[in-house]
Amino acid sequence: MTLPITVSQAITCGMPDVALVDRMRPGDHVCWTFADDRERRRVAGGWVRAGLRDHHLVVYRTGAPDALAELADERIDTRAAIGSGRLRVLPVDQNWLVTGAFDADAADQEFAADLGQALHSGYAGLRAVADMGWAARRVPGAEQLGRYERRLNRRIADGYAMALCLYDRRLFAEPRMSELTRAHPASVTERSTRYGSPLLRMVRCPGGLRLFGEADLSNRDAFAAVLGHLLEDSPAPDVTLDLTELRFADATSCRLVVTVARDSGGRVRTTGARPSLRRLLTLQGAHGVPGLLPPVAP
C-alpha cells in the first residue's frame, strides 16, 4: 500500500492537481474543498473514471442538474456505465433529501446498503462521491452532517470502500468548514499539490486496526470516531493498533489512544510504534496501562 504523505508538504497557489484522485485507495475518506466549478467537475469526473477503471461500484450523489453531461465532458461513457450497473448517479434532492430533510442515520444506512451491494455483486469495492453544497442551504437536518461524516469513517475502515466529499468553500464559512473538515481523516485544499496523498488512513486488519500517515488536529474528529468504537467494531476479543506506518501523532491523539486502552480493561495494545511515538504515548500515560506498549527489545 502506498504510504500516505501530508497534502500540505508542498504549497501551490493554484488548483490541486486532479492526479491526487489516483493516490486514493479503499479505506480513504477525503474532504475535497473547492472554489471553482471547473475543479468540481474535473475532480468528480476523475473519481468516477478511476472507479470504473478499478472495477468499483461508483455512486455519485450530486446537486448538479447537468451531472450526466458534466461526466460526459470528462470522457466518461455514462450510458454504458449506468446501463451495466457500474455507475449510479443520484440527485441529492431525490435521494438524501427526498423527504425535504437530511437524516444522518438514514444516509448511513444507505451507504451500508451501497457497500453491501458492491460486495454482493463482485465489485472490488465501493467508490462514493457526494457534492455537499446542499448543506449550505437551510435544509432541515443539515446540522447532522458532521455526525454522518464522523460515523462514515467506521464504515470505510473495513477497507472495502472509499468516499470523496466535495465542499464548496464559497458556501461554507468558518468555523463550520473546519468542523466538517476535521470529520475526515484527510483533506485536499487549495494548498495541496500533486505530491500529496491522504494524510491519515485507518484500515481494519485481522485482530485490529492499521494506521498510516499522521493523526493531528486536522483529522481529530475522524480519529476519535474510529478509536471510540474500536472494540465495538472489531470481532476480535482483543484489539491491536498497528502503528508501524503511523509517522506522527500529536499529544491529543496519543492521549486518545491511551484513554481508549485504559477504558478497555487491557483489551487494546499497540505494535510497531517508532521511538518518537512511543515516547509521546508514554508521556500521555501509556506506562500506566498494562500491555499497551510491548517491551523494548534489548
pLDDT cut 70: percent of the chain above it: 91
Query: Between residues 235 and 93, which one has the greater pLDDT?
Result: 93
Contact of 165 with 32, CB cutoff 8 Å: yes
- Angstrom CA distances, 144 to 22, 50, 102, 105, 198, stand at 30, 30, 8, 9, 24
**Helix/strand/coil for 276:** helix
Name the residue among 232, 146, 158 with its Cα closest to residue 184.
146
Could you give the C-alpha distances from 149 to 27, 111, 154, 221, 287, in angstroms and in order?
14, 11, 10, 10, 33
According to DSSP, the β-strands at 200-205 and 208-215 are antiparallel
Residues 101-121: tens digit of each pLDDT? 999 999 999 999 999 999 999
Residues with Cβ within 8 Å of 81's Cβ and at least 6 positions away in sequence, in order, are: 48, 52, 58, 87
Question: Is 88:96 a contact under the CB 8 Å cutoff?
Answer: no
255 in Cβ contact with 287 (< 8 Å): no
What torsion, rounded to 10 degrees, do the Cα atoms 195, 198, 199, 200 define?
-150
CB 61 within 8 A of CB 95: yes
Helix (H, G, I), strand (E, B) or coil at 207: coil
Mean pLDDT over residues 13-38, rounded?
Answer: 83
Q: 199 pLDDT band (50/70/90 cuts)? A: confident
Do the beta carbons of residue 26 and residue 162 sit within 8 Å? Answer: yes
Mind listing the pLDDT tens digit for each residue in 270-289? Answer: 999 999 999 999 999 999 99
**pLDDT per position as a tens digit, 168-186:** 999 999 999 999 999 999 9
Among candidate residues 186, 219, 272, the one with its CA nearest the CA of residue 5: 186
**pLDDT in the model for residue 9:** 34
Q: CA angle at residue 211 from 210 to 212, to 5 degrees?
A: 125
- Cβ-based neighbours of 244, under 8 Å, separated by 6 or more: 210, 271, 272
φ/ψ of 243, rounded to 5, equals -100, 15
pLDDT at 75 over 90: yes
Residue 197: the pLDDT is 56
By the 8 A CB rule, do 35 and 190 touch?
yes
The answer to whether 111 and 128 have CB atoms below 8 angstroms apart is yes
Mean pLDDT computed over every residue of the chain: 91
Closest CA to 256 of 296, 294, 297, 211: 211
Strand partners, 29: 163
Q: What is the CATH number of domain 18-196?
A: 3.40.50.300
Angstrom distance (rounded) from CA 48 to CA 244: 32
| pTM (predicted TM-score) | 0.90
Length of the chain: 298
Angle at which helix 104-120 crosses helix 145-156, to 10 degrees, equals: 30
How confident is the model at residue 10, as a pLDDT?
Answer: 30
Domain ranges across the chain: 18-196, 201-288
Task: Classify domain 201-288 at the CATH superfamily level.
Answer: STAS domain (3.30.750.24)
Query: In the numeric block, which cell numbers belong to residue 116?
Result: 453491501
Structure confidence at residue 84 (pLDDT): 97
